[in-house]
Structures are given as structure tokens and as C-alpha cells.
Structure 1
């Protein structure tokens, strides 16, 4: 039996099972035995960052008390945030060439559209995706001066949202950004890092939310486009279905959902209509759907 009496010594099989069940109930994210080493290391970090000296005391405090800061630290440790600017940009191509023209048409056309076109990036991680959307619109959408656009980013991880708000990035995040865009929309802040200019940062509204939290997701409504890429693969069948229903509720009827290239809504829920575009598959909330 692996000892659980001190931080850094790992979890017993029973403790690991109890922990993953608890985390699943709070977030919808399930870790199987193949993630054991990853989970053990991150829990060890959480215990070391807390006033408690054992997993048992830390876990008891987490479960028995209103320890929102502890839970957020745990979520921050256990969520993976791998991203960079202009990632899977063929989907941005689809947004510009087909999706946004369809949105304008369906909402009455230029000059008659009421309310902003709303775009959501969830999870937005450290901000590269929503800022990429802003850059593509500014540089390549011919209607950007005629249409009010709102860009929102949301994530379960408070630490990455803080980084998104600061919007300072290094070479790896910026590797696909054209130099002309870097000069135009970023400011060098030293040590090979560049910060997105204030005008773009202020145009992106950030939120903390769990896509599986139905009550919290009710605040997200009437989006025309949602990017939810490479997150549903971390959920089991039940959580994936709940997330799909929450995304459905966040879209305007006729709105578009982009998933990651390895994800398929047809395996999760029949409520969306798959639509094939030249660039690939996008999922629509049917018009008239309640």
C-alpha cells in the first residue's frame, strides 16, 4: 500500500479513486488510471501550497468546507492549457468566408442587423484564441467597420485568465503571427515577449466558467459563433452531453459551433446540425430550436 501520510509520497489506489470521483462531480472532467502520475504530481503541488501537511487532511478540508480558493488551485493544476496564435486557422478561414456572411444574411443584412455579432472562445486558455479571432477580423473581414462585434473568452482556470488579461506572449505562442501584425498590434515588453495592444485587449471580455456547469452557463446567450476546441475529449459521455447542451443554449438559433479537428458532435448529441463547409465540418443550432 502506498502511504498517504505525507505530501509527496503519492496516493493509495483507494484515495486516487475517491479523488477522481470528487473532481469529476465538481468539474465533469474524468481522469483514468493512465493519468495517475499526472494527478499525483499535481495534487502534491496543491498540498504543498496549502496549510495542510498530508493528502488526507487537505482532501478533508476541500470536501468538508467552503474552500473555493483550494478548489480553484486544484482546477488550475489539473487543467491543460496548450495553445498558440492562429491555431487550426482553417476554422478562422471558414468563419470569415462563410459563417459570418451567413450570420449577417440570417440576421437581416448590413444596415438592418440589430445587436452585435457575438463570438465566444471557450476554453480560451491564456488568450491566444480570442485575440487571434480579433486579429483575423481586423485584418481580413471586409465588414469589420460596418458591424458591431463582441468577442468573449471563458475558461475554468483563473490563472490562465489572468495571463489572458495581461496578454504577454513569447516566441512559441507567436510563431505563426506575421511580422507585420506583430509590429502593428503588439508592443515589445522585453525578454523576447510581446504584449497585445490595449485596444485589442479591451475588446475581449473574459469570464471564468465551467462549460459543464449548467447554471453558470445560462449567463451565456445569443452567441453567433462559438469555438470550443479540444476540450470535449477530456469528458466522459455524460459530461460531454451536458457540455453540448450548454453550448447549444449559448448559441443563437442558427449559430455555429466549431470543435477541435479530432472531435465529433455526432458521437455526443444529435441536437446540432452538422454543416459541411469547404474548410471542414461546423455544427449549427437549428433555427426555431428551443
Structure 2
């Protein structure tokens, strides 16, 4: 019997969180019960099912609904120039090291994942245009990816409100965004075309490998949602996705040193990063 306070029984909640865990690597413990129940309740109402058993059957049969459920569990809290010190590190330390020995026109690949609604990969593009004098010397490819297909669609649309834009200097806003319309501003076409967005799942080795190797990967504030086992899986996938000597940037509360010995901690003037051994 389900308590009046809870939509799901203990067993049903366990099955739900295990489904999300297997698909994403994200672990939602008991303290996140309200968060999980609220999201599944929204999806059950949207699909018109009678109970969780019926919804679970739907998840097995309908890949699109399974994706919509996963989308509902992702956290898309971000804004432009977030953790700006890492962007300074990118232009002052990481990229100068990456291009050492490369010729003009050579490919430099940067990956933002999870990219959420696009603020991070667009921030990388903006920052390099404004702060890296060599940006036009090399063929810089920026890829943004996320497991949330709704977030990917929003990133491709490139339209943002005041909160997301609040850290950007006025000259950057005026130079790279269309005039305000309906309370939002849209990124100019040239900048949109400088970033490629694709769905990808850090917990899925095949989807990671499909995108090839990168010189720099930003993977910030995702591993905090993983447990120890899925962090180790993620570390292996990130290691494989980095070119030899490539750099990994994590969130300020995350540390690869506690997860894997496949990376060398690198202290730069602006930020701590991890280099593929």
C-alpha cells in the first residue's frame, strides 16, 4: 500500500531510480525521493497511465518516453562565463600547450559535456574570440553534448534570458547577440555555427567513442551526481575521449585524483586541471 505522502512504494521508487541509474550513471538516493517522484508524476500525467506498473511497461516499449523521463531528471543550471577562471586557464595555459608544435590550420578540438542549454560551449567560443589571439590561426572545433535532448534543442536555438547573460560584458552582448526581443537575446548566426551540438551519454562508452578524441574536455558538475562505481566508468570514458596529453576541466568541488590514476593533476596560475597520462 502506497503512503498518502508518496506516489511510489519503496520497491517502485527503487525500480525507478535503478532505471535512471542504468541509463545515466546518476544515483538518486532516498533523500531525493521527492525530486524523483515529482518527475515521474509529471510524466505519468502526461502519458495518461493509471499507475506506475503501467508506466514502467510503457518505458520498456517506448524509447521516446524513456528519453523524456531521462530529460526530466537532468539539472540544467548554468549561465555564460560560469567559473571564468577556467576559461582564462584555457586561453592562457591549456591551448598554448596544446598547439605547441602544431602548424597553422591544424585541428584543435574542445568538448563541453554536459553542455546543458548551451551556455558553456558558447562561452568557450566567445572567450576564445575575445581573449585568444591565435583563435584564427588554427581550426578550432567546439562540440557541446548532453544526455538531455530538450537541452540540446534549446542550445541549438541559442536564445537566452537576463539571468543566463548577466555575467557577460556589454560589448560582448552587443557584439555577439541580436537585440532583445520578448525579454531574451539570440546568439548571432555566425557564433551558432561555430559550435556543434550532439546528444551523448557519459555513461555510454559507445556514444562517447563515436565523437572521437579531444584536446580539452570540460565536464563540470556532473560527477557529483554519480556514485563511486559510475564515476570510475566515467573516468575511463573521459580518458578515452582525450587525445594523448589532453586536458580535463572538472567542477570546483570535483577531483579526478580520488577517482582514477589515469590523469595527472596540473596546477596552472588560473585553475587546476587534469591531464591524460
| TM-score range relative to shorter protein | over 0.9
Structure 1 counterpart of 2:79:
84
Q: Which contiguous aligned blocks of 4+ residues in structure 1 show a shift greater than 2 angstroms?
A: none
CA distance in 2, matches of 1:192, 1:178: 18
CA distance in 2, matches of 1:109, 1:156: 33
Structure 2 counterpart of 1:41:
38
Partner of 1:273, secondary structure, is strand
CA distance in 1, matches of 2:219, 2:113: 5
Q: Is the 8 A contact 2:71 2:150 kept in 1?
A: yes
Structure 2 counterpart of 1:10:
7
Consecutive unaligned residues in structure 1, runs of 5 or more: none
CA distance in 2, matches of 1:46, 1:275: 44
Q: CA deviation at 1:26?
A: 1.9
Q: CA deviation at 1:189?
A: 4.5
Partner of 2:211, secondary structure, is coil
Q: 1:75 aligns with which of 70, 89, 98?
A: 70
Count of aligned pairs between the two proteins? 277
Q: Is the 8 A contact 2:235 2:259 kept in 1?
A: yes
State TM-score, norm by structure 2. 0.96
Q: Which one scores higher on RCO, CA 8 angstroms, separation ≥ 6?
A: 2
Partner of 1:80, secondary structure, is coil
CA RMSD of aligned residues (A): 1.5
CA distance in 2, matches of 1:154, 1:20: 23
Q: Is it true that 1:256 corresponds to 2:253 in the alignment? A: no
Structure 1 counterpart of 2:57:
60
Partner of 1:95, secondary structure, is helix
CA distance in 2, matches of 1:41, 1:261: 29
Alignment of 1:89-168 (within 5 A): 89-105=84-100, 108-111=101-104, 114=106, 116-168=107-159
